[in-house]
């Protein structure tokens, strides 16, 4: 995994603009769920999260590979566990308790609970249509997609992508995988695949994550200085074209396109925007993504994403006379209060543990023989 010599020095630095992008993504999801789904594209927010996740994780893997010559699977999976599982356990326990006391609709069946805790919630929801889990906890379907990626992608990166010396070759492998997923969506649609499967299954949505991986391997704006060189007018043209493409995917309502190619076009439009936001973070068009309010919201976006719909449904059920605006504002206030508690007492302590794992000498698993110089 080719990394610029500066990648080791950047290992402890936060990549700019990512929290701002997370803030945009979680805001799209929140306002879509609040009742504005006809005007706000919540699904686009999830796709942004997917592309961003692929870019970030692959970038971190490149940094580690450049520093140690390999990947420490044990530390990688332990860091992911500390990042994802503690908030999920707390929200799951809270949702289960609220439903048990009649404060939230629905409840866990044994299989539903296992699906949430063991990351097959997307296939459970596809099969059971949100029955068997408390109302609002169904957002875990996207966590399952990402967790399956975490399980499968690092071995792929180590065993296949590192064998290819040329970044273009690695990108070609990932592009071929994305094309296969797109073809699979078309096949499923033609052979009776359900809309739920096409929109929530790992096998039909993982290509968005792989697009982020492709960018991180081939033209990484954080690690590859040549790739991040200023483009001037070209940047403006690229950004405008990507925004226009996203707008077109939202305006064009054909069912076949919406369930198949839409995800591919959106992912391919989101990736260059992330690229520009990272590479030009100090420039006026993207500087606002690093403003403190956006950075804060992005920092707590995981807790907001997990909890907001559970809280929304509770507010709607117990305060039915509130109008849309009051319901949305109360839900936002309660969600942010919960997210702040999670940040202080759960996520920050876990983040300190993850940093220790980053500093710990890695028992990296490398390929037989020495890695090519470009991967070190």
How many other CB atoms are found less than 10 A from the CB of residue 284?
A: 7
pLDDT in tens, 66-123: 888 778 889 999 999 999 999 999 999 999 999 999 999 999 999 999 999 999 999 9
Residue 6 pLDDT: 47
How many other CB atoms are found less than 10 A from the CB of residue 173?
A: 18
Residue 192 pLDDT: 96
The first and second tokens of residue 283, run together, are: 């420039």
Q: Phi/psi class of residue 363: alpha, beta or left (left: φ > 0; alpha: ψ in -120 to 50)?
A: beta
Residue 160 pLDDT: 67
**How far is C-alpha 300 from the chain's CA centre?**
14
Residues 171, 214 contacting (CB under 8 angstroms)? yes
Residue 48 pLDDT: 98
The first and second tokens of residue 344, run together, are: 């202080």
Residue 4 pLDDT: 45
Contact partners, residue 276, CB within 8 Å, separation at least 6: 221, 235, 238, 239, 285, 286
CA–CA gap between residue 253 and residue 189 (Å, rounded): 16
CA–CA gap between residue 313 and residue 304 (Å, rounded): 14
CA–CA gap between residue 114 and residue 124 (Å, rounded): 10
pLDDT in tens, 275-305: 999 999 999 889 999 999 999 999 999 999 9
Q: What is the DSSP letter of 265?
A: H
Pick out the chain residues at pLDDT < 70.
Answer: 1-12, 159-162, 226-231, 359-376
Show me where the domains of the chain are located: 13-359
Residues 51, 267 contacting (CB under 8 angstroms)? yes
How many other CB atoms are found less than 10 A from the CB of residue 160?
A: 13
The first and second tokens of residue 257, run together, are: 């396109």
The first and second tokens of residue 137, run together, are: 């906890």
pTM equals 0.93
Q: Which residue has the tokens 């690695």?
A: 170
Residues 304, 347 contacting (CB under 8 angstroms)? no
């Amino acid at each position: 995994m080719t990394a610029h010599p500066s990648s080791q020095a950047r290992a402890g630095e936060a990549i700019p603009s990512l929290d701002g992008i997370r803030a945009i993504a979680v805001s799209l999801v929140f306002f879509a769920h609040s009742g504005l789904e006809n005007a706000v594209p919540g699904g686009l927010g999830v796709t942004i999260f997917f592309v961003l996740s692929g870019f970030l994780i692959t970038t971190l893997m490149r940094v580690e590979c450049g520093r140690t010559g390999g990947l420490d699977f044990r530390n990688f999976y332990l860091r992911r566990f500390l990042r994802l599982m503690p908030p999920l356990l707390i929200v799951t326990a809270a949702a289960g308790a609220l439903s048990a006391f009649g404060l939230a609709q629905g409840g866990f069946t044994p299989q539903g609970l296992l699906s949430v805790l063991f990351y097959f919630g997307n296939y459970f929801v596809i099969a059971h249509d949100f029955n068997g889990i408390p109302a609002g906890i169904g957002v875990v379907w996207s966590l399952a997609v990402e967790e399956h990626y975490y399980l499968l992608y690092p071995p792929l990166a180590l065993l296949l992508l590192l064998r290819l010396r040329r970044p273009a070759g690695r990108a070609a492998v990932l592009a071929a995988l994305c094309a296969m997923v797109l073809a699979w969506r078309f096949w499923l649609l033609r052979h009776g695949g359900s809309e739920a499967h096409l929109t929530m299954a790992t096998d039909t949505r993982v290509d968005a994550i792989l697009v982020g991986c492709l960018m991180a391997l081939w033209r990484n704006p954080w690690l590859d200085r040549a790739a991040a060189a200023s483009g001037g007018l070209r940047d403006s043209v690229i950004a405008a074209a990507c925004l226009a493409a996203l707008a077109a995917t939202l305006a064009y309502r054909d069912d076949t396109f919406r369930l198949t190619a839409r995800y591919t076009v959106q992912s391919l439009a989101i990736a260059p925007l992330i690229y520009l936001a990272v590479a030009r973070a100090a420039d006026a068009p993207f500087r606002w993504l690093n403003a403190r309010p956006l950075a804060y919201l992005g920092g707590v976006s995981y807790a907001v994403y997990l909890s907001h719909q559970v809280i929304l449904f509770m507010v709607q059920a117990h305060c039915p006379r509130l109008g849309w605006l009051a319901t949305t504002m109360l839900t936002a206030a309660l969600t942010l209060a919960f997210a702040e508690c999670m940040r202080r007492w759960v996520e920050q302590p876990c983040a300190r543990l993850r940093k220790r794992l980053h500093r710990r000498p890695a028992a990296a698993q490398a390929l037989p023989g020495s890695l090519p110089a470009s991967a070190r």
